[in-house]
Structure 1
Amino acid sequence: MPERAKVAVLISGSGTNMAALLYASRAEDCPYEIALVAANDPAAKGLRLAEAEGILTFALSHKGMPRAEHDAAMDEAVRGSGAQWIALAGYMRILTPEFVAAWEGRMVNIHPSLLPKYTGLHTHERAIAAGDAHGGVTVHLVTTQLDEGPILGQTPVAIMPDDTPESLAARVLIAEHQLYSRCLAKLVTREKSPEWLLEQVRSRASVLPDAEETLSHGMACFGIAKGKKFAYFSSDHHGDGRTALIVKISGVDEQALLIEQDEARYFRPAYFGDGWIGIRLDLGDNDWDAIGERVARSWRAVAPRKLTTLIDAADAF
C-alpha cells in the first residue's frame, strides 16, 4: 500500500470533526493518517479522545502568549510530527499571515455554511433569518482572508420550516463529518493526479505569448502558434509509469547535471534527444514557481525574436 499522507489536526474543543477524520483514516483505502492532534487549550476534550486512540497530541494555551509566538510553537509541533498537511477542526484562533503562508495550499478548514454566504459566526441563525432553502457546509483551503480560500467541496442541507439554529446545526454537523474526510482524501492525493498536474502545467504554459495546446503522439503539448513545441505533458507514456513535464534545455551537459543532482526527479526522455529534460511531477513535492520558470525558459528557446523582444520590453517596466 502506498505511504499515507500525514495530517495534523488543530482543535480547540470537543473535536468531533477531528474524530470523523480519524475514524475515516482507519479505512484501508484512506490515503491519509492522523499524525498529530494539537490544541490551543490543554483542557480540550478532543485531546483525550486522540490519546485514547493512540494519536500523538500537543497542547499549548495561547493565553498570555503573543500570537506569532504561539503560532510558531504550533508550527514546530506540527513539523516535528512529520505532518505534511494541516486540517483545522474547530480551531478557534485567527492564524498569523506567516503561519498561513508557510502552509499555503496544505491547510484546510471546514465552515458551516455554503460559502461565500455567511462567513464568520452565527451561520445557521443568518441562513434561517434570510429565508434560505438550504444551509450547508464548505471545505476550503485556508488563506489570509477569513473563510475565503478556494472551495474544495460543499454539501447543502435543507432548512425545515420548524428549524432552529440548533436543529439545523445538528444536521449540518452530520454533513460535515461526511464531507471533510472525502475532501481531505482528495486533496492529499491530487498532487499525483494526472488531471490536476496537467492543469497546473497548462496554467503556466497557456499564459505565454502565442502559446497553444495540441495533442502530439498521445501527449498534451504546448507550442508557439504555427511554430515549434516547447513543453510536453507525459502521463504513463509507453507504460513508463511516470507523470512528467518535458521541456527544452541547453544541451547534453545541462541534462547530465540535472540528472546527477536528482536522478529521482529528472530523466532523459526517450525519443527527444539531448536538448530536452524530463521532470517527474508525480513525486508530490513540486516547486511550481521553479517549474513555471522552466516552462517559460523552454518557451523562450523556441519563440521568435519578435515575441521575446516584446517580453523583454514588458519586463523592463
Structure 2
Amino acid sequence: MPDKAKVAVLISGSGTNMAALLYASRLPDCPYEIVLVASNRPEAEGLRLAEAEGIATFALPHKGLSREEHDAAMEAAVLAHGARFIALAGYMRILSDGFVARWQERMLNIHPSLLPKYPGLHTHARAIEAGDSHGGCTVHLVTADLDEGPVLGQVAVAIRPGETAESLAARVLFAEHQLYARCLAELVQRETSPVWLTEQVRSRAMALPAAEETVSHGMACFGVTKGKKFAWVSSDHHGDGRVALLVKISGADEQEQLIESDPVRFFRPAYFGADWIAIRLDLGDVDWDDIAEWLRRSWSAIAPRRLAAMMDF
C-alpha cells in the first residue's frame, strides 16, 4: 500500500468529528493518517483526546493577532508536521483568503446542512422552521466564499414530527461521522486516480482552440480538429504502473535534459520517439498551472498557423 496521506485537523471545541476521522484512519486500508490536531483554543477538549491518542497537538489563541498572523502560525504548525491536507472539524474561525488559496483543493470542511441550503449558523432550527422534510450534512472543499466550495458528499437526515434543533443535531452528528471520513479518504486518493487525473488534463486540453478528444491506443488523446495530436494521458501504459501526460518537446536533447533533471517525474514514453516526453501525474503533487503550460506548448507545436494566431504566447 502507498504511503498514507498526512492530514492536519483544525478544531475549536470537543472534536467529535476529529475523533471520527482519527479512528477511521486506524482501520485497515485507510489512505490517510492524522499527524496534527491544532486549535485556536488551548482549552478545547478535542486537544486532550488527541494527546491521549498519541497525536501531536498545537494551540494558539487568536486574541491579539490579526487573522493573517494567526493563520500563518497555524499553517506553520501544519507544514512542520508534513501535512498535505487540512480537515476543518468545528474550527470556528473564518480563514484569510491567502491561507485558503494556498490550500486550494486540499482543505475541506463539514457543514450541518444540505448545502446550498442554510450556510452559516443555526442550520437545524432554520431547516425545521422552513418545514423541510430533511436536514443533513455536507462535506465540501474550502473556498474564499463561506460554505460555498464544491460539494464532496452529502447525507440527508429525516426531520420527524415534533423535532427540535437539539434532537436533529444529535442525529445529524451520526451522519457527519460517517460522511467525513469517507469524503476525506476519497479526496486524498484522487491525486493518484487515473479517472480524476485524466479529467484534470481534459479540462485544460479542451480549453485550447479547436481541441478535440479521441481514444488512441486505449488512451485519452487530444488533438486539433481533423489534425495532429498534441497530448495523451497514459495509465499503466504497457504495464508501467504509472499515470502520465505525454506532450511534444523539441527533440532528443530536451528529452534527455528533462529526464536528467527529474528522473522520477519525467521519462521516455514507449513507442513515442524522441520528440515526446512523459510527465508523471500520479506523484500527488501536480502543479496544474505547469501542466496547462505544457499542454499549450505542445498544442502550439502542431497547430496550423491560423489557429496559433488565436493564442497569445
TM range (shorter): over 0.9
1:157 corresponds in structure 2 to: 157
Distance (whole Å) between structure 1 residues aligned to residue 272 and residue 235 of structure 2:
16
User: Is the counterpart of residue 106 in structure 1 residue 109 in structure 2?
Assistant: no
SS across alignment from 2:291: helix
Q: Please provide the CA RMSD for this pair.
A: 0.8
Structure 1: runs of 5+ lacking an equivalent: none
2:191 corresponds in structure 1 to: 191
SS across alignment from 2:311: helix
2:295 corresponds in structure 1 to: 295
Asked if the contact 2:87/2:107 (under 8 Å) is kept, the reply is yes
Query: Superposed, which structure 2 residues align to 1:215-230 within 5 Å?
Result: 215-230=215-230
1:250 corresponds in structure 2 to: 250
2:22 corresponds in structure 1 to: 22
Distance (whole Å) between structure 2 residues aligned to residue 224 and residue 31 of structure 1:
39
Cα shift at 1:68: 1.2
1:89-120 Cα distance to aligned partner (Å, 9 max, x none): 00000111111111111110000000011000
Distance (whole Å) between structure 1 residues aligned to residue 232 and residue 4 of structure 2:
29
User: Is the counterpart of residue 272 in structure 1 residue 272 in structure 2?
Assistant: yes
2:236 corresponds in structure 1 to: 236
Distance (whole Å) between structure 2 residues aligned to residue 119 and residue 174 of structure 1:
20
SS across alignment from 1:292: helix
2:126 corresponds in structure 1 to: 126
Amino acid at match of 1:47: L
Distance (whole Å) between structure 2 residues aligned to residue 93 and residue 24 of structure 1:
25
Asked if the contact 2:206/2:213 (under 8 Å) is kept, the reply is yes
1:26-77 Cα distance to aligned partner (Å, 9 max, x none): 1121000000000100000000000000000011111122221111110111
Distance (whole Å) between structure 1 residues aligned to residue 215 and residue 3 of structure 2:
33
SS across alignment from 1:146: coil
Q: How many residues align?
A: 313
1:62 corresponds in structure 2 to: 62
Runs (4 or more) in structure 1 with deviation over 3 Å come to none
Query: Superposed, which structure 2 residues align to 1:299-310 within 5 Å?
Result: 299-310=299-310
Cα shift at 1:236: 0.6
Distance (whole Å) between structure 1 residues aligned to residue 65 and residue 235 of structure 2:
49
Q: Using structure 1 for the length normalisation, give the TM-score.
A: 0.98
1:167 corresponds in structure 2 to: 167
Asked if the contact 2:209/2:310 (under 8 Å) is kept, the reply is no
Distance (whole Å) between structure 2 residues aligned to residue 233 and residue 310 of structure 1:
25
Cα shift at 1:8: 0.4
Distance (whole Å) between structure 2 residues aligned to residue 204 and residue 70 of structure 1:
35
SS across alignment from 1:180: helix
Cα shift at 1:307: 0.4
SS across alignment from 2:175: helix
Distance (whole Å) between structure 1 residues aligned to residue 189 and residue 122 of structure 2:
33
Distance (whole Å) between structure 1 residues aligned to residue 190 and residue 137 of structure 2:
21
Cα shift at 1:2: 1.6
Cα shift at 1:311: 2.1
Distance (whole Å) between structure 1 residues aligned to residue 69 and residue 211 of structure 2:
46
SS across alignment from 2:73: helix
Identity %: 73
Structure 2: runs of 5+ lacking an equivalent: none
Distance (whole Å) between structure 2 residues aligned to residue 69 and residue 217 of structure 1:
52
